[in-house]
């Protein structure tokens, strides 16, 4: 949908992070690369076969139980799950995370039109903050206000309402940009307009 149509009468846009502003896999695959390098350094297994297995499993089945599958495949000590989990939270990525081009264009348009930008993200707050810190924002970071749902112990719908009330906005003056049915449901519960990120051009 054209940006000008989306922004008609809007004063705030609320985004999720993963698979909305950038592909989550760009973060996870770099974490798996770093973990495979760590496993080789720790004298467990060569990095390349471990990484190839993790990438394949991730692409076929997602991230669930990926450490357990990898540990079973390569007989990796269970104690290294700690390192695997820690890397998700504080990994120093080899490469910056890049915004989807359509989202970069959209964010820039919001700034030009002085429309407020909010990110409301679920998941481990440390991990989500780490992603934000390692994203190439092209100077847009100064315009972002971020809420971590798990840290606030609130639903996204509750945070949406808090954003509206604290900025004296009606639901019609805001737009939620998400990537899945959960985001759509959370928006619908507060009567906020919603659009999937892939539909923005």
73-132 pLDDT, tens digit per residue, is 999 999 999 999 999 999 999 999 999 999 999 999 999 999 999 999 999 999 999 999
Question: Is there a single domain that holds both residue 82 and residue 114?
Answer: no
> What's the domain count of the chain?
2
Whole-angstrom Cα distance, residue 51 to residue 69?
Answer: 12
Question: Is there a single domain that holds both residue 60 and residue 108?
Answer: no
Question: Is there a single domain that holds both residue 72 and residue 153?
Answer: no
Q: What is the DSSP letter of 12?
A: E
What is the predicted pLDDT for the residue at 1? 61
Question: Is there a single domain that holds both residue 85 and residue 30?
Answer: yes
Question: Is there a single domain that holds both residue 141 and residue 191?
Answer: yes
What's the domain range around 83?
25-90
Question: Is there a single domain that holds both residue 14 and residue 47?
Answer: no
Average pLDDT over residues 142-152: 96
pTM of the model: 0.92
Average pLDDT over residues 15-43: 96
Task: Provide CB contacts within 8 A for 152, sequence distance 6+.
Answer: 159
Question: Is there a single domain that holds both residue 32 and residue 62?
Answer: yes
């Amino acid at each position: 949908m054209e940006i000008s149509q989306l922004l008609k009468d809007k004063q705030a846009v609320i985004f999720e992070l993963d698979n909305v502003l950038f592909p989550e896999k760009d973060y996870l695959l770099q974490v798996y690369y770093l973990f495979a390098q760590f496993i080789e350094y720790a004298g467990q297994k060569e990095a390349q076969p471990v990484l190839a297995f993790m990438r394949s499993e991730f692409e076929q089945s997602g991230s669930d139980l990926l450490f357990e599958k990898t540990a079973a495949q390569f007989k990796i000590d269970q104690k290294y799950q700690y390192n695997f989990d820690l890397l998700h939270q504080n990994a120093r990525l080899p490469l910056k995370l890049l915004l989807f081009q359509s989202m970069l264009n959209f964010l820039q348009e919001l700034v030009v039109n002085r429309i407020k930008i909010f990110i409301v993200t679920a998941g481990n707050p440390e991990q989500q903050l780490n992603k934000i810190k390692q994203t190439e924002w092209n100077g847009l970071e100064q315009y972002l206000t971020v809420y971590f749902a798990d840290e606030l112990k609130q639903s996204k719908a509750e945070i949406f309402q808090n954003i509206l009330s604290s900025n004296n906005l009606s639901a019609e003056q805001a737009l939620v940009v998400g990537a899945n049915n959960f985001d759509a449901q959370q928006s619908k519960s507060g009567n906020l307009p919603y659009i999937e990120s892939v539909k923005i051009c």
